[in-house]
Amino acid sequence: MIAWDPASITCDLRSAAAVIAPTLKAVEIEPHMTNTSELVLACGAFLDAVDAGSLSHSSQPALNDGAVSAVKRELAGGFAWDRAPGITELTAASLAAWSLLSSTTTEPKWSLPPLMDTSSGGYREEPFRDLDKIPF
């Protein structure tokens, strides 16, 4: 048996792939079903990464064909890949890359102090400041 632990399974809610959602849920895998806004983000981020040279693939014929036949479908705030023959793999790759980058988090280098003082179990006491008595 092969161990498989993807960060996320992402499908376009309006694509033919959406039919697998109930099957995945039946085996306790919760897919992320993208809405139009997320699809726009995924396609735009994918193209930006390709243009910047930070995303490439190892010459899979299906992705090569999709890239050659790709046509943008303009949507509010961006675009999605037009539904045409050969685009399924390009859309899947766009969603996979976006999903991976969206689910990857890094620890912040600094953060604001907590609002709660965990040692006393309550809010930190801040000195009362009467704004009428503060000279400006």
pLDDT per position as a tens digit, 86-123: 788 899 999 999 988 887 656 556 666 655 555 555 55
Question: Tell me, what's the pLDDT at 87?
Answer: 87
Give pLDDT, residue 117. Answer: 53
**Is residue 1 over pLDDT 80?**
no
Q: Among the residues of 1-136, which ranges form H helices? A: 21-26, 36-52, 61-69, 88-103
Distance CA 22, CA 29 (A): 9
Domain boundaries, the chain: 35-103
DSSP string, 82-93: ---TT-HHHHHH
What's the confidence (pLDDT) of residue 129? 55
Of 21, 25, 26, the closest CA to residue 10 belongs to 21
Distance CA 45, CA 31 (A): 20
Cα 53 to Cα 48: distance, rounded to the nearest angstrom: 9
pLDDT tens per residue across span 17-37: 899 999 999 998 889 999 999
